[in-house]
């Protein structure tokens, strides 16, 4: 099976449902806030509630794989079910797993998340380029073949990231600028949007020193609990702001477990993003 390219599907989903990605981050404190135990049963109820409440409303879900993996095989089974049920409701799945390795190992990671017959098949996957962008080749090739996408760590919002991402190479370019350049090359000629995106923190302020016009999506975590607001997006992303996929987790999830409150929070956030982008 080969799907329509991810970039085209993402553009349509954001146009129809609004430019919003909701993270599914079932960490222990959030389960407790919902009155759930920090166990597989609590994990399953939390995840099912989010998917049932928002699966027909939001453009993209971003499950954080680590919060499922910590429960072992039973947690991964919950994640598999969530992926299947969310995609049945029309939401795109961006698996936040941040995989990165070389050769056959990178290929195996790609097969786990980007091969259409995999139980964890996702519309897109977050990956790390810090073994060299070329190390991502197996994932790039399989994503292109299957109609999936990648979001490559570019300019992340954690303060530690700068020591690598803003380091200057011998040619005078920063590491982050080099990654963005590779992504622009992968997306060359794609319409209406390329399938190979970058992760760029919404909390970073003015990024005019970087060319974010990669003809691909820009995943923007950091809105809500981390301090950024939708109104910050035009300042951070400039002329590339139309390709931003704002990501919100706690700002929506804290309103659960009431499904009506979850839907209302997601709708408010989507409206705020639309207003900021227009």
Q: Pick the catalytic residue from 62, 98, 137, 254.
A: 98
Helices (H) and strands (E) in the chain, counts: 12, 8
Give the span between the Cα atoms of 157 and 22, in whole angstroms: 17
137 noted as active-site residue: no
Task: Tell the burial category of 191 from Cβ atoms under 10 Å away from its Cβ (0-12, 13-18, 19+).
Answer: exposed
Give the span between the Cα atoms of 154 and 162, in whole angstroms: 10
Task: Answer for the pair 233, 202: CB distance below 8 angstroms, yes or no.
Answer: yes
Task: Answer for the pair 51, 61: CB distance below 8 angstroms, yes or no.
Answer: yes
Give the span between the Cα atoms of 247 and 22, in whole angstroms: 6
Give the span between the Cα atoms of 58 and 60, in whole angstroms: 6
By annotation, the residues acting in catalysis are 98
């Amino acid at each position: 099976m080969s799907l329509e390219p991810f970039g085209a599907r993402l553009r349509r989903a954001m146009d129809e449902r609004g430019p919003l990605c909701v993270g599914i981050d079932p960490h222990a404190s959030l389960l407790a806030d919902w009155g759930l135990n920090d166990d597989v049963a609590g994990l399953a109820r939390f995840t099912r509630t989010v998917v049932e409440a928002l699966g027909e409303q939001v453009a993209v879900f971003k499950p954080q794989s680590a919060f499922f993996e910590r429960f072992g095989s039973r947690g991964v089974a919950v994640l598999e079910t969530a992926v299947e049920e969310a995609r049945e409701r029309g939401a795109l799945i961006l698996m936040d797993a941040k995989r990165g390795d070389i050769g056959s190992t990178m290929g195996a990671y790609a097969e786990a998340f980007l091969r259409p017959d995999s139980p964890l098949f996702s519309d897109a996957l977050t990956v790390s380029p810090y073994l060299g962008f070329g190390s991502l080749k197996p994932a790039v090739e399989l994503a292109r073949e299957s109609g999936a996408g990648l979001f490559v760590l570019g300019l992340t919002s954690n303060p530690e990231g700068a020591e690598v991402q803003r380091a200057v190479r011998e040619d005078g370019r920063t590491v982050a600028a080099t990654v963005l350049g590779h992504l622009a090359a992968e997306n060359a000629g794609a319409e209406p949007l390329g399938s190979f995106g970058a992760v760029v923190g919404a909390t970073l302020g003015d990024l005019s020193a970087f060319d974010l016009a990669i003809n691909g999506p820009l995943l923007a975590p950091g809105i809500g609990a981390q301090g950024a607001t939708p109104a910050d997006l035009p300042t951070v992303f400039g002329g590339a702001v139309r390709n931003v996929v704002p990501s919100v987790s706690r700002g929506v999830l804290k309103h659960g477990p009431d499904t009506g409150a979850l839907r209302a929070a997601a709708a408010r956030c989507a409206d705020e993003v639309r207003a900021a982008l227009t």
